[in-house]
Amino acid sequence: MANQDELVVINMQIKEQYNIEGMHCSACSSAVEKAVAALDGVSFAEVNLLLKSLHVEFDSDRTTSAQIIKAVTDAGFAAKLKTTTAGTASNGAGSRNGSSAPSESAVQRNSSDVRSITSVRTGSDDADSGMQQEEVHVLKRIIWSIIFLIPLMYITMGHMVGLPLPAFLHGTENSVSFALVQLLLTIPIIVLNRSYFSNGWKGILRKSPNMDTLVALGSGASMVYGLFSLFRMSYSLGAGDLITVASYRENLYFESAAMILTLITLGKYLEAKSKGRTTQAISSLLELAPERALRLNADGTETEVTSAELIVGDRVVVRPGQRIPMDGRVVEGQSAVDESALTGESMPVEKHIDSEVTGGTLNTSGSFVFEVTRTGEDTTLAKIIDLVQNAGASKAPIGRLADKIAGIFVPAVLFISVITLAIWLISGSSIELAANMAVSVLVISCPCALGLATPVAIMVGTGKGAKMGILFKSASALEGLSHTGEIVLDKTGTVTTGKPAVSTIITKEDNNDFLTFAASLELPSEHPLAHAVVTEARDRELSLIDVKEFQALPGNGVQGIIDEDSWVSAKPSYLQDMGIDLSEFLPVGEEMSL
């Protein structure tokens, strides 16, 4: 027991990820980052605008999750906790069917592991589902917006290229009808894309104007000016002032309001589509981990369980063609495991007792039993998935620069618009002309791509790299690659296609005859080299022969009987142990392997 004068302080560094709702541009993400970073004890806060997520690292003794969520809420957004990771990793050690029950801390760790591996899969599923829903929703908006925009643009711009207008819209005397039709076609587009106005207004209220604010002001000002022009035309038409009617007829701005909203929505759709594609790399990694596993009980029976139920110390049976559910150590049997999905090495790795196996890899030949040593977020596969996610969530230096520019861009545009209005008024111009010029500044200043181009490029780059087996540790590493002059690779399967193929056949017999017998013998085998031999025979359209008494030689090869003769296909050392002379072929094989 410690003395009263002794004080033990444990600083627990926590990493948490949150789903953020309500963000639409880099100004929004910047507002969230600033609000969370201002909390006491927060050492790191970074927002991924594309994934709409927040990654936070903080001291749990000084800040809580509730305070973080409150800070995000006060900034005008909604936050929901996604994952939590303690600063100290746990082994999740426990026991099952043993002589003693696991400790309370062990049970807690095991429970954490189960939640962790489940959250990795469900979190990605939720993200994929959310992105698909977002993509469909935005697609519907853009389709209906275009349906109304096409006739609107025809009416407003068609006569400029010689296209005819209906009689009731032609001429100065029909200017009010001309404006009303444009208004009726613009209103549905405004309603479909009303979210820009609500989000933009929220940005103004929380004193953090964003790109939606600029879009709303640009399109809103165009709409208001169009309504003002409509009333001026009605008044002037009644007063017989056709000159004023004609001047306002050509400057209604309804089409500008509709075009701004439609083009920005099109950008949102392309953004949503890009996000959906980049998450496919993470989904493909998640598919490597099997959802079910065969747990070996203490009495020797097998029970099929979900992979999330496995804990450290469990023994799992893996048969040929099955994927390994968790990291572990082989305790019974031997086999060859295909680790190409994680390492890039195309050749299977031989596994025997005490060999380490990795979750997500494929057992290709014999059956074996392994003991689970790591579960949940501690597994190699989970760390690789986390690496890909963090790379997509991290910001490259150029991305941070874009965010800084975007943070001051909106206020700068608003300031320039006000200055434009003031200068034209001071110069003696009419209020209508001054307002027209100020609106023009707002209309042409809606570059949402400023805050989206960099994160989209990073997400696409890291996602494409993951599909090709290349993992970037951070966005900075990806950006730095553009300055790389030379790339040095070690001599492994990472520089191959990842799939073995027959390139040369060396034999004293006819090549096709030899390949026929070799492929017939290898046909029942699950080994990648056997598949390569069989594929070559089928490409040459050779007829294979039935094999009797086929037997796999774990770690060595296969054997069987073809036409009453015994055949063996095995590695050189095994054949030499059988007394077969390979002195004529070994030098050639060694030379080809260089």
- pLDDT by 10s per residue, the chain, length 594: 444 444 444 456 788 889 888 786 666 777 888 889 999 989 888 887 767 888 898 988 888 889 999 999 888 888 988 755 554 433 444 445 443 334 333 333 344 344 444 444 444 555 555 556 777 888 899 999 999 999 999 988 887 778 888 888 888 888 888 999 999 999 999 999 998 888 778 777 777 777 777 788 888 888 888 898 899 889 888 888 888 888 888 878 888 889 888 888 887 777 667 666 556 666 666 677 788 899 999 888 899 998 888 999 999 999 888 899 999 999 998 888 888 777 767 778 888 899 999 988 888 777 899 999 998 878 888 887 777 666 655 566 766 666 567 667 778 888 998 999 999 999 988 887 888 788 778 777 765 555 556 666 776 777 777 667 677 766 777 778 888 888 877 655 456 666 788 888 888 888 888 899 899 888 888 777 888 899 999 999 998 888 888 887 877 888 999 888 888 988 888 888 888 888 888 887 777 765
Counting Cα atoms < 13 Å in the Cβ hemisphere of 370 gives 30
Domain ranges of the chain: 13-81, 127-282+430-456, 290-378, 511-593
| Residues paired with 417 in a beta bridge | none
Cβ pair 64, 249 in contact under 8 A: no
The CATH class for the domain spanning 13-81 reads alpha beta
Spatial CB neighbours of 197, under 8 Å, sequence gap ≥ 6: 190, 216, 220
| Residues paired with 349 in a beta bridge | 337
CATH node for 511-593 = 3.40.1110.10
CATH node for 290-378 = 2.70.150.10
What's the CA gap between 490 and 465, in Å, rounded?
Answer: 18
Parallel, antiparallel, or unpaired: how do β-strands 315-318 and 335-338 relate?
A: unpaired
Q: Please give the biggest Cα pair distance in the chain.
A: 115
Cβ pair 323, 360 in contact under 8 A: yes
Cβ pair 168, 236 in contact under 8 A: no
What's the CA gap between 160 and 164, in Å, rounded?
Answer: 10
Catalytic residue flag (residue 490): yes
Torsion of CA 15, 19, 21, 24, to 10 degrees: 80
**Residue position matching structure tokens 């002059």:** 485
What's the CA gap between 267 and 446, in Å, rounded?
Answer: 11
**Residue position matching structure tokens 């063996």:** 568
Q: Which of 299, 354, 490, 565 is catalytic?
A: 490
The amino acid at residue 369 is V
Are both 13-81 and 511-593 of the same fold?
no
What's the CA gap between 185 and 147, in Å, rounded?
Answer: 9
